[in-house]
């Protein structure tokens, strides 16, 4: 970047920044207010770009992360506007959100996003879902004209980094998503595992589909030998799958989606109107519904538990905002697991993959260096283009000034003269252009750039 740093290290002039909050320092209560649906992203991007100092923006919002990536003209003014955006989103003051948010700039932005895409900064180490979320966040911003050259280049490389880390390390082995963690925890908590348990899957969205896949894998592993699991991993059907998910029912507000997901699993489905009936028969309830209000209320669950003589019920709530009223946990016979407890379970499962973290971070470091070099080259490219354009304008002006003499030449002579003058310009500018690009890669282009602007009046 052709800019200077102030005494605090912040950059003056055009720079990259990310402001956000994630699972490391924020509770589920805050995420309930900060999580944005895809429909709300358009308005968020519009609000961010209202400030003249914010040139580009991408908003990444997942169940455990909300971040604003931006290209700003003046760092402090642009970032202050993003802090104001979070204050409005959380219904808090600027000072209050300052204690919750982290802010990074320039290369630290690339390092952070690459770690996010690689699953190194997720509630579940090596999480696979976040890579698609990173890609989708950029696609939404790009479609709305909020992501320009700088952020588009950054996010494209982030997707490449995420794929590379997962293919070249073992970080994505084992539990790699919250949905898989939820099913694994249910298997761990339920007496005898999932075998013979009646499971109610409430929600048929992205998280619901993830839990459906995890349920199928868990049940298959429970009733089949290792060779059968290998067939399953390869996507090859086998007799052991018949009736595999007969004890699973999918319930959703959208019956078509419930029916489709149930058919994929070999499970049953039902409408939301029959939720109480299904709750009475369930041993385990996995809940993930995209709604700002509760789906399971205390009163409903108390009535259901009474009808089933308080037979134990395990409920896992993956909703953000929460789908299950917290008082449900106080009902006799009910065990309620929320995202905070799920994170604790996940942390205990990570020991086997921690050895891969250093390898993955080394790859991220390599990609950050690539990003740095590519961005420095892009920073000087407009100046190099302006230099060649100015020289070409001068060449053409001189050719026009001598047009009467040139027109007296034959066609072949005119072509030779045109080619000769172009070659002279290219050879004269070649060395200055190469030197400027080299200086850009090393981070010392400011002095040469300023000299070129002064010498050639660019």
SS3 sequence of 395-453: HHHHHHHCHHHHHCCCHHHHHHHHHHHHHHHHHHHHHHHHHHHHHHHHCCHHHHHHHHH
d(CA 38, CA 65): 14
pLDDT digits (tens, 9 = 90+) for 181-211: 888 888 888 777 777 789 999 988 878 888 8
pLDDT band at 398 (very low <50, low <70, confident <90, very high): confident
Give me the pLDDT at residue 444, please.
63
Residue 155 or residue 343, greater confidence: 155
d(CA 307, CA 118): 47
> Beta-carbon neighbour count of residue 449 at 10 Å?
19
Q: Is the pLDDT of residue 10 over 50?
A: no
Give me the pLDDT at residue 57, please.
97
Q: Is the pLDDT of residue 71 over 60?
A: yes
pLDDT digits (tens, 9 = 90+) for 417-426: 888 888 898 8
- Say if CB 366 and CB 161 are below 8 A apart: no
**How much is the pTM?**
0.64
> Beta-carbon neighbour count of residue 129 at 10 Å?
20
- Say if CB 9 and CB 79 are below 8 A apart: no
pLDDT digits (tens, 9 = 90+) for 209-229: 888 888 887 776 665 444 444
pLDDT digits (tens, 9 = 90+) for 276-326: 999 999 999 999 888 878 999 999 999 999 998 878 999 999 887 888 999
Q: In what order do the strands lie in the sheet with 334-337?
A: 268-271, 248-252, 199-202, 284-287, 313-317, 334-337
d(CA 282, CA 296): 14
> Which pair of structure tokens corresponds to residue 55?
């040139």
Q: What Cα–Cα distance (Å) separates residue 385 from each residue in 326, 421, 433, 436, 448?
A: 61, 18, 9, 12, 15
Average pLDDT over the chain, rounded to an integer:
82
Per-residue DSSP letter, 93: -
d(CA 439, CA 443): 6
Give me the pLDDT at residue 238, please.
44
d(CA 164, CA 166): 5
Respond yes or no: is residue 63 known to be catalytic: yes
Mean pLDDT, range 239-259, rounded to an integer: 76
> Beta-carbon neighbour count of residue 62 at 10 Å?
24
Q: What count of Cα atoms within 13 Å lies in the side-chain half-sphere of residue 143?
A: 10
Closest listed residue to residue 125, CA positions, set 368, 414, 343, 420: 343
User: How many helices (DSSP H) and strands (DSSP E) are in the chain?
Assistant: 18, 12
Catalytic residue (one of 63, 103, 186, 245): 63
Kindly tell me the burial class for residue 217, based on how many C-beta atoms sit within 10 Å of its own C-beta (0-12, 13-18, 19 or more): middle
Ordered by where they begin, the domains of the chain are 4-172 (3.30.460.30), 178-346 (3.40.50.720)
> Which pair of structure tokens corresponds to residue 74?
């003046």
Angle between helices 129-143 and 107-117 (to 10 degrees): 130
């Amino acid at each position: 970047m052709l800019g200077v740093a102030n005494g605090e290290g912040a950059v003056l002039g055009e720079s990259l920044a990310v402001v956000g909050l994630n699972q490391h320092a924020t509770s589920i209560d805050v995420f309930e207010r900060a999580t944005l649906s895809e429909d709300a992203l358009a308005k968020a991007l519009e609000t961010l770009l209202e400030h003249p100092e914010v040139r580009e923006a991408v908003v990444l919002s997942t169940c455990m992360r909300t971040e604003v990536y931006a290209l700003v003209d003046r760092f402090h003014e642009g970032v202050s506007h993003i802090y104001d955006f979070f204050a409005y989103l959380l219904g808090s003051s600027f000072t209050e959100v300052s204690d919750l948010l982290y802010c990074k700039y320039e290369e630290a932005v690339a390092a952070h996003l690459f770690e996010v895409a690689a699953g190194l900064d997720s509630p579940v180490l090596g999480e696979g879902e976040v890579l698609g979320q990173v890609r989708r966040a950029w696609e939404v911003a790009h479609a709305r004209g909020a992501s320009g050259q700088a952020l588009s280049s950054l996010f494209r490389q982030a997707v490449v980094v995420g794929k590379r880390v997962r293919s070249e390390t073992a970080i994505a082995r084992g539990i790699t998503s919250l949905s898989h963690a939820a099913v694994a925890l249910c298997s761990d908590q339920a007496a005898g595992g999932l075998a013979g348990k009646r499971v109610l899957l409430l929600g048929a969205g992205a998280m619901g589909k993830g839990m459906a896949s995890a349920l199928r894998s868990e049940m298959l592993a429970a009733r089949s030998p290792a060779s059968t699991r290998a067939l399953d991993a390869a996507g090859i059907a086998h007799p052991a799958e018949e009736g595999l998910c007969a004890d699973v029912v999918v319930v959703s507000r959208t019956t078509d989606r419930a029916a489709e997901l149930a058919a994929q699993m070999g499970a049953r489905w039902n409408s939301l109107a029959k939720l109480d009936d299904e709750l009475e028969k369930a041993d385990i309830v996995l809940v993930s519904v995209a709604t700002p209000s509760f789906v399971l209320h205390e009163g409903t669950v108390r009535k259901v538990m009474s009808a089933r003589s308080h037979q134990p019920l395990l409920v896992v709530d993956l909703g953000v905002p929460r789908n299950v009223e917290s008082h449900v946990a106080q009902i006799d016979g009910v065990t309620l697991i929320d995202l905070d407890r799920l994170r604790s379970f996940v942390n205990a499962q990570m020991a086997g993959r921690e050895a891969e973290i250093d390898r993955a971070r080394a790859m991220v470091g390599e990609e950050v260096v690539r990003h740095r070099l590519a961005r420095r080259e892009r920073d000087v490219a407009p100046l190099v283009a302006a230099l060649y354009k100015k020289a070409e304008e001068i060449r053409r002006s001189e050719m026009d000034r001598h047009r009467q003499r040139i027109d007296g030449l034959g066609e072949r002579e005119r072509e030779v003269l045109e080619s000769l003058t172009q070659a002279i310009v290219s050879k004269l500018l070649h060395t200055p252009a190469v030197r400027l690009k080299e200086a850009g890669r090393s981070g010392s282009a400011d002095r040469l750039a300023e000299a070129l602007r002064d010498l050639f009046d660019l």
